[in-house]
Structure 1
């Protein structure tokens, strides 16, 4: 088979990428080209897919080898980036896709990537015009900005949203890198909240041993107003947004705080700490959104509860859906984020029907 005009999945044998490949194949999209630094792993996945009758090929492509990235992107009409960590990838893969005239979906990527792609557009408008580039097509950011949009759309007079997102999960080295470095001002502000049309700092304290429907046991929640939460607040007109990161276990939270305090860059202790939490508590992930209508005081009126065993499968779900919507022409050209261009209601219905998670909006 000639691997031209393929859907290329970079990092296609990883925790997210392999699930994206499965979803694209199941949807009848293809041919699919699996790429990554480890050519043997890419070929192994492709060979198993071909044995089942799926049109899947493999190619070596390395972030540190621009020629290999260009050779990969040249075979693709759409590049889905599942390689990480995002702080290292940044816009490297997106630029390769643009050079090849391909569309682009990033399972991660947020403000730092969007800013760099805006610079590309200003410098070389022709490279961006007509191309679709969708960022933040994962569980967080991504579903974390899309599910509350569906909840708000169902409300009469939404005024306040509380969000709790996290759990206990194994960390790949790439994911650990994003956890470690995803806390600067380009990502969000600790202890801040949205109040009356703007960000207010030093508003919220951490919460200890709270019980929420999205999580099987009491959890700790640490306020962190992400840039995604700020965009959501501005787009929906909410008066108040309180946004929390949830740690279901203690070891990862402890190790993360220590590593940041020492300004460390080694992700191995975080991977080990997450593994300890999983060994003791099992793996589970959740997102819970509580919405107030009419008044920010009193009990909330609506809730969205997402429960899953595997956050990587959630990211693959949204990356896969986003890729399919790009392929069918549903996403307009330009740089956007999945939560802002996908249909919230249609996406939450699809997620609720998917075996990767349990989602209830009430």
Structure 2
């Protein structure tokens, strides 16, 4: 089956293409506005797997005829192009017109509804780090002794460089349905939480600022798990990035994006990219006893984790392992298989879990998780 990969000239697309090839999907069509940039990646892939069938094509997603011509005769269309607000809808319409499945790194509002006209197709949305892993890890932990989950707390730290696309998407989050300072209280509740500074979290290497948020994936996950109480936090320990984020509302969009790019590069000087996701669940075990557990995942960077997960999600679609329909990847994919795949590709360290809550971890951090 041919896989059509959009955004092949970007960092995310490159990671995804390599992971697809390593996973045995060696018939790839790489798309970019400038096919010469995609050809650099294609040449690398051909060296890695001399028998692979790799082709490149120019594609302009804003032109329906160009997008459809690219998607035609592919089995799956994979969207790694960005920014999401400029590409996701066009990629979805191309997949529907071509009659192919879709895997998208982002999850823009309204995309799933487009597939109501194509009920036999599969569309996995938010198949990256966030959304994506942020929904898979809680489901993985919920499978470790919980009969019912009532409360969730999630802490995501991304210490990495912002590309232009990533910075644009980050600043666009509110328009994409992400509610700042909101939480889940048996339903979405705005203003339920406040920003907190100088917070020390177990296994996070510096005091941080916690930015509460509630995005579309979090709300879908809360409904699927039957949560009464859910808190999600972005954990920011990079001072330049935090300053740029705070100044962004006073700047025009292009200046805000550029400032966030520069700030992330400064914070990262001399250090390696890293992502950390710490999740706490509370509820009941099958005997009705109260149960609280935490899980921690460490990863090597946003693009590596996201691109690898996109490839794993695509493999699941190609294998026919999913029921047709459109929705969040984190709710459709097998969390055990996805985390195992991320480990095998060395995108993350083995996820770890233990009894107790985040407060307990703060006391026992010197021990073994």
**TM-score, length of structure 1 as denominator length:** 0.89
In 1, Cα distance between the equivalents of 2:315 and 2:246?
38
Q: Does 1:103 align with 2:82?
A: no
Question: In the alignment, what sits opposite 1:189?
Answer: 179
Question: In the alignment, what sits opposite 1:152?
Answer: 142
Question: In the alignment, what sits opposite 1:172?
Answer: 163
Query: What's the CA shift string for 1:107-151, capped at 9, x where partnerless?
Result: 112324334x25xx3xxx3xx131111111110001101110111
Q: Does 1:360 align with 2:352?
A: yes
Q: 259, 284, 287: which is aligned to 1:269?
A: 259
Deviation of residue 80 (structure 1)?
A: 0.5
Deviation of residue 301 (structure 1)?
A: 2.5
Deviation of residue 246 (structure 1)?
A: 1.5
Q: Does 1:142 align with 2:138?
A: no
Contact 1:249 1:281 in 2 (8 A): no
In 2, Cα distance between the equivalents of 1:159 and 1:64?
43
Query: What's the CA shift string for 1:183-218, capped at 9, x where partnerless?
Result: 23x5222222212x1222222222222233453322
Gaps of at least 5 residues in structure 2 are 355-369
How many residues end up aligned between the 2 structures? 345
Deviation of residue 248 (structure 1)?
A: 2.0
Contact 2:244 2:259 in 1 (8 A): yes
Q: Does 1:321 align with 2:312?
A: yes
Q: 290, 307, 313: which is aligned to 2:298?
A: 307
Shift of the 190–32 alpha-carbon distance from structure 1 to 2, 3 Å rule, reads same
Q: 192, 195, 201: which is aligned to 2:190?
A: 201
Q: Does 1:22 align with 2:14?
A: no
Query: What's the CA shift string for 1:73-130, capped at 9, x where partnerless?
Result: 1141111000001011131011112211211110112324334x25xx3xxx3xx131
Q: 9, 16, 26: which is aligned to 1:13?
A: 9
CA RMSD for the aligned pairs?
2.1
**TM-score, length of structure 2 as denominator length:** 0.87
Deviation of residue 293 (structure 1)?
A: 2.9
Q: Report SS of the residue matched to 1:90.
A: helix
Query: What's the CA shift string for 1:308-354, capped at 9, x where partnerless?
Result: 22111111121111101110111222212211111122222333444
Shift of the 291–232 alpha-carbon distance from structure 1 to 2, 3 Å rule, reads same
Q: Does 1:40 align with 2:40?
A: no
Query: What's the CA shift string for 1:138-186, capped at 9, x where partnerless?
Result: 10001101110111222244221110112221111111110011123x5
How do 1:224-263 residues align onto structure 2 when only pairs under 5 Å count?
224-262=213-251
